[in-house]
Chain A
Amino acid sequence: MRVTNRRTQALAAALLTVGLLLGCGEEAPIEMPEVQLEGVPTVVERAIQQALRRVKENPEDGTDWGRLGMVLDVHDQSSAALEAYRQAEALDSEDYRWPYLAGRILERTERVEAIAALERAAAKRPDNAAVGVNLGQLYFEAGRREEARRTWQRIVSEHPNSAHGWYGLAQIRTREGSLEEARLDLERCLEIQRDFREGYTLLAQVLRLLGDDEGARRKAEMAVNFPALAPIPDPLLGEMSRLGVGPSWSSRRGEAFARKGDFVAAESEFRKALEGDDPTARDWANLGGALTGQGRHREALEAYEEGLTIDPEDAFLRNNRSGSLFRLGRVEDAEESLRSLMAEDPTYIEPWLNLGELLLATGRPRDAVGVLVGAVDQEPGRLAALKMLGQAYVLAGQPVLALETWQQLLAYDRNDLDVRFDAALLAVRTGDHQLALVFLEAGGASDRLQTLLAWELSTAPGRWIDPLRALQLAERLAERHPNDVTTLDALAAAQAASGAMDLAVATGERAQQLALEQGRTGLAEQLGARIEIYRTGGRFVQPR
């Protein structure tokens, strides 16, 4: 990398000038990239120095050059990284990584060169979906629609579960006005990856262009549930991020661990981040989160309070601190703090959800309903709020409102199978078999929902039962789950509804035995009662 504006000698001193000419004899000299180490934390400097040393020791090793590029890249020294990648590619022309990573830098400034680099990478690794997805996007944005289409079609053909591939195709179809096809592609994309935020935003646009304003609004509101873009699955970038050192990277890695639920590793990274020169309130918040994830609420509270000494107004910290207070049994303090946050900034939704949870946990479902209705009013598409509001209605003895709320949630996200199951079960229990079947029939291939459907079709009052279908379903499920008590219970009910009483008794007894072996005595008793009914030649009918 050349620094173009060198007007003072002070600059030369400031830069670590590694412009060593390493070649000798007749060979062309290899010039090292100039990297900036002034003002960077020692750990970063050390990492860069180490990568530079390896290159100096092995100047003909493309992999070492590539690694140097990666180290520079993750520390935001893009120009120097680009030079290193170019050198790596020149020395190691078989490795797709170097043109790929160079292309990812170039796409920020030089799209034509970026496309060329990604094409070279794709030629070396045509099976790599991450390369293809990125290349397709660059083609599309450059108006090279047919190349983008070919690229993405190849991806979905070779990787049918590539949500990004389907999303790419949907982009093209939207631009070309093939809106129904775009809608189908996007629904496929979202079935594969429910948190694919950009899928919801594009689907909202497509639905609006199709004239479905209500559907468009729902998809737009859904997007708020997913704060970040869906990353393109790419192990190489994961490998790169591990090269990042210093507080910023510790924070990033900690967040990644926390997202995966590995709070011990997250804690370790967040503690490293706090060792930097200027720990922020957010660094303490991160640590508190990792400790909360491990159930260490007292330490988490201390972390949050450390953060609040830096920024006493930080709403995120105060919200999390309230959570710790609640878990430590300081319910009144927690409630007061959450209500104060809600009053200060009603648009910040998290305290509403936390207060709702607190009220539910402390046996105040009616109060929780009030709070959660407020949360849904703020963000109608916030799934967590809708889910909890449904639960609050159930606990408040308002099952009809619970069912309406969950129906509302399923209108946003038909693929939330947990809520679909809960809603169906509630409908069954309230005797609304028609609604239960609506929930269940739309449940797709989920075994859990299919089991409940088989049960419902066997045990509902007369007009709702369908013994033949129930039996087919239950037999198929029992083949897959021969030792699952619930499945066997459903199969027994279906057999009884079909008139095969001997089989029903045998299956019921098998289920009962398994329940006893698992220590589920209550369930075993219920099964015993049902077996007695089968023995008398009757089918089990759900009580009203």
Chain B
Amino acid sequence: MKHAFSPLCWCLCLTLYGCDGVSQTVAVQSEAAPSEFMPWVFERTQVDPTPDASETLGSDYSMEEIMGSGMALLDIDDDSDLDLLVAESGWLYEQDAAGHFGRRARLYELTSPLRATGCSVGDVDNDGDVDLFVATTGKDMLFLNSGNGELTLAPGGGGLGAAVGWSTSAAFLDYDNDGWLDLYVVRYVESDASRVCRGLSGHREYCGPEAFRGLPDLLYRNLGGGKFAEVGDAAGISRRVGKGLGVVAVDVNGDGWTDLYVANDGERNHLWINQRDGNFEESAIPWGAAVNLQGREEASMGIAVGDVDADGSLDLFVSHLDRESNTLYRGIEGRAFQDVTFEARLGEDGLPFTGFGTALGDLDLDGDLDLLVADGKVRLEPQQATIAESEAGLEGGAVSAAAYAEVDQLYLNDGKGRFRWVEESAPGREPKISRAALMADWDRDGDLDLAIAHVGAPPVLWRNETPRAARHWMRLQVWDPALSREAVGALITVSWAGGERVLALTRSGSYLASGDGLLHIGLGAVDRIEDVVVRWVGGEVESFGAMEVDRTVTVKRGEGRSQGDLLGRRP
């Protein structure tokens, strides 16, 4: 999508916000890009160990086990730093001033065979603090934030309790533009623990999605005050069944109404285009984002969204099973997508790995979006299965988690949307069964750090200590004062002399995960932003003028210069 707004107004309402935020994705091409690669430096950050982490798998080969855990980065206590929730265990980790993540409380503890899977963060009651949705294999849960960092289950389940089944990811969005955050819940399959699955050689294996029937996703309309009603049928969502894992809520056609892209496992991905009347139309095939270049459905897991080639259109990256490449769908002017995976040099290096969590962000502040793919197997070659069993000396089919472990992959963008796998990066040297993965500036130093959740091991947080040189950055908070919350669903165009970049404000994406609400922009040598233009949900457009870099800036709805309402016409 192209967002070439005229910078008619300069610098109306900036709020310098200090270095107290953290951020998610998206970068701006620098004047000097592509610049020389400075080797990434990541340092592991201590997270208190989870008491009940298991390092063996396969005692019952339950599919729920291997699909693993989600994660959220959220400022639970409104102290301007990010805390961490690990969905599977329910443990909440609070970040202290030294950047240490200490176990604070266990929000919930589900009884086997129930498992919590993914989570999503958003302010459902517009009271200025973040609330939390947790997807499970049974009844999903909504926690409301009391404002002092205490999360409590919403009375009556907030209206979310009626549906039972395996929910995976979720996304908050205001699909009907009524000011309340609605909720899209992705659902997976009707699994059956008694089902025995085997590979072609006959060895025991975790079942894949093909063994089970898929479930329709759910759409909950927020009725106000944190009470929801399921409207998936009326909105058309229930008419298409996928086997969904990842989801991102983003306005792909730039009409001011939030759309949804769902990664389905072994089925066509879904692209739900918002019809602006409470309905969605599934349009992934004509948009070119349903299947890969060969027309083949893939085992889609996680999703990252961002403008990787700096052409003003949002692109979609989807992670996949081994023997399938991950897929980069290049956005074409807000009208369609094209699979450009191998041209972007993202094909071959991903083929041996099973990708799950994924994120785009400018890890070296050189002005382009780099890529993280968190990997971990769900199936073994026959040899691997036996090796694992033999080495672990395990019986009854249980295998060591190590057999399923893979390295995570960091890819460097060359500034033109072509990538190179940087094998020597620290997160790439520790094989684990990775699942949810996020980028966010959780240590508040201006660059993006990493957070990765695992099966059979605690999450790992990687602090980015890559030398900064003279590269610049900006964090952007996009706030709607009338709603007392961040403007989820807004599209932002940041422009500078000689370039611009489009960003999307969403906490959704990756795999079973929910990220930060601040936008992060790497700027390279650019030391001044000429304009920030925000297209709010509903289509209204405001320009906020020039801004300084290397800081957090807040733009507030109503305080910029109006550019009119672009609904219905292309910018």
Q: Mark A residues whose CB is within 8 Å of B.
A: 1, 3, 5-8, 10-11, 13-15, 34, 36, 38-41, 44, 74-79, 108-112, 137, 140-143, 171, 174-175, 197-202, 204-205, 207-209, 213, 216-217, 219-220, 223, 229, 244, 246-249, 278, 280, 311, 313, 315, 345, 347, 378
Task: Give the residues in chain B near A41, CB-CB below 8 Å.
Answer: 202
Closest to B190 in A: A313
Known: A141-B293, A205-B285. A39 touches B213 (CB 8 A): no
- Of B91-99, B331-339, B452-460, the stretch lying at the interface with chain A is B331-339
| Contact call B200/A111, Cβ cutoff below 8 A | no
Task: Give the residues in chain B near A280, CB-CB below 8 Å.
Answer: 195-196
A110 to B347, CA, bound (A): 10
The 10 closest A-B pairs by CB, nearest first: A198-B295, A220-B285, A76-B200, A216-B286, A10-B390, A108-B323, A141-B342, A36-B382, A208-B286, A278-B196
A34 to B390, CA, bound (A): 16
| Contact call A347/B391, Cβ cutoff below 8 A | no
| Contact call B347/A141, Cβ cutoff below 8 A | yes
Q: 23 A-B residue contacts at CB 8 Å?
A: A1-B383, A10-B393, A14-B389, A34-B383, A40-B202, A76-B199, A77-B201, A77-B382, A77-B383, A78-B381, A111-B348, A142-B347, A198-B295, A201-B285, A205-B285, A205-B336, A208-B335, A220-B286, A223-B285, A246-B200, A247-B202, A248-B198, A278-B198
A7 to B402, CA, bound (A): 13
| Contact call B382/A112, Cβ cutoff below 8 A | no
Per-position binary interface string of chain B over residues 190-231, scored 1 when its CB falls under 8 Å from any chain A CB and 0 otherwise? 101001101111111000000001001000000000000000
Closest CB-CB distance, A521 to chain B, in whole Å?
Answer: 52
A78 to B382, CA, bound (A): 10
Chain A interface SS verdict (over half) = helix
Task: Give the residues in chain B near A278, CB-CB below 8 Å.
Answer: 196, 198
Task: Give the residues in chain B near A78, CB-CB below 8 Å.
Answer: 381
Judge whether B106 is part of the interface by a CB distance below 8 angstroms.
no
| Contact call A204/B286, Cβ cutoff below 8 A | yes
Judge whether B275 is part of the interface by a CB distance below 8 angstroms.
no
Task: Give the residues in chain B near A3, CB-CB below 8 Å.
Answer: 383, 387
Task: Give the residues in chain A near B342, CB-CB below 8 Å.
Answer: 111, 141-143
Judge whether B35 is part of the interface by a CB distance below 8 angstroms.
no
Q: Mark B residues whose CB is within 8 Å of A.
A: 190, 192, 195-196, 198-204, 213, 216, 238-241, 283, 285-288, 290-291, 293-296, 322-323, 332, 335-336, 338, 341-343, 347-348, 351-352, 381-383, 385-387, 389-391, 393
Closest to B397 in A: A39
| Contact call A205/B382, Cβ cutoff below 8 A | no
Task: Give the residues in chain A near B198, CB-CB below 8 Å.
Answer: 248, 278
Chain B interface SS verdict (over half) = loop
Closest to A218 in B: B286
Known: A205-B285, A205-B336. A39 touches B241 (CB 8 A): no
| Contact call A76/B285, Cβ cutoff below 8 A | no
Task: Give the residues in chain A near B290, CB-CB below 8 Å.
Answer: 201, 220
A15 to B180, CA, bound (A): 60
Known: A198-B291, A347-B241. 13 other contacts (CB 8 A): A11-B391, A40-B201, A77-B383, A111-B342, A112-B348, A142-B347, A143-B343, A175-B338, A198-B294, A208-B286, A209-B336, A229-B296, A347-B216
Closest CB-CB distance, A165 to chain B, in whole Å?
Answer: 14
Closest CB-CB distance, B235 to chain A, in whole Å?
Answer: 14
A115 to B286, CA, bound (A): 30
Known: A248-B198, A347-B238. A205 touches B391 (CB 8 A): no
* Pick from A39, A197, A313: contact of B382, CB under 8 Å: A39
Task: Give the residues in chain A near B336, CB-CB below 8 Å.
Answer: 205, 208-209
| Contact call A40/B213, Cβ cutoff below 8 A | no
Task: Give the residues in chain B near A14, CB-CB below 8 Å.
Answer: 386-387, 389-390
| Contact call B286/A205, Cβ cutoff below 8 A | yes
Task: Give the residues in chain A near B240, CB-CB below 8 Å.
Answer: 347
| Contact call A36/B386, Cβ cutoff below 8 A | yes
